[in-house]
Amino acid sequence: MSTETLFRTHLVLDYVAWLLCFGAYVWPWLRSMDRVAAHSTIATLHSFRFFGLVFILPGVVSPNLPAGFAMFAAYGDFATWVLPMLSRLTVRIRPLFWPFVLALNLVGAVDLIVDYYNAIQVGLPAHAEWLNATYAIPIIYVPLLMIAHIAAFYLLVRASQRQAAA
């Protein structure tokens, strides 16, 4: 099996596994919470996005990993790390909390989409060995982050629809 096929298979199967897990355990739990608690929980998950800085740590990734991909992925994750931290810090100040929640999910989702695009542009699926120890990040962690962003958007839209109906 080629590296690209294996990488893509891992990615698809991880989305399937996370969707099953999320649907069975996380989603019912999030829906049972009030809005603030649900978004705080999602923000807490994203508070580990600083780990993306490992893409620029010498010796962890291959020197062949294109710097354009590595820098954007690392600093995009770091920028996204700031937003869940701010939302968690302002959870009791609702006029600040909600803009940070929205920004976290917009910036975070765009960061992941652009990372996917950049990975395809530099041929990363065919050269997944460039990731070395960081292989687990796009295969295991990124699908969970994307699913959490989608869940957060759904919860935000659902709340807006309820407010509009009231």
Q: Would you state the torsion angle of the CA atoms of residues 129, 133, 135, 139, taken in this order, to the nearest 10 degrees?
A: 160
Beta bridge partners of 10: none
Does position 166 have pLDDT exceeding 90, yes or no?
Answer: no
pTM attached to this predicted model = 0.93
Share above pLDDT 90 across residues of the chain, in percent, rounded to a whole number: 92
Angle between helix 67-89 and helix 94-121 axes, rounded to 10 deg: 170
Locate the domains of the chain by residue range: 3-56+63-165
Condensed to tens digits (0 to 9), the pLDDT of residues 89-101 reads 999 999 999 999 9
Instruction: Give yes or no for a contact between 145 and 46, defined as CB atoms under 8 angstroms apart.
Output: yes
CA distance 87 to 84: 5
CA distance 27 to 155: 10
DSSP secondary structure letter of residue 66:
-
Condensed to tens digits (0 to 9), the pLDDT of residues 102-119 reads 999 999 999 999 999 999
Does position 153 have pLDDT exceeding 80, yes or no?
Answer: yes
Condensed to tens digits (0 to 9), the pLDDT of residues 40-98 reads 999 999 999 999 999 999 899 999 999 999 999 999 999 999 999 999 999 999 999 99
Identity of the residue numbered 84: P
Q: Give the pLDDT score at 60.
A: 94
Q: Give the pLDDT score at 158.
A: 86
At a CB cut-off of 8 Å and minimum separation 6, what does 81 contact?
46, 47, 48, 49, 50, 52
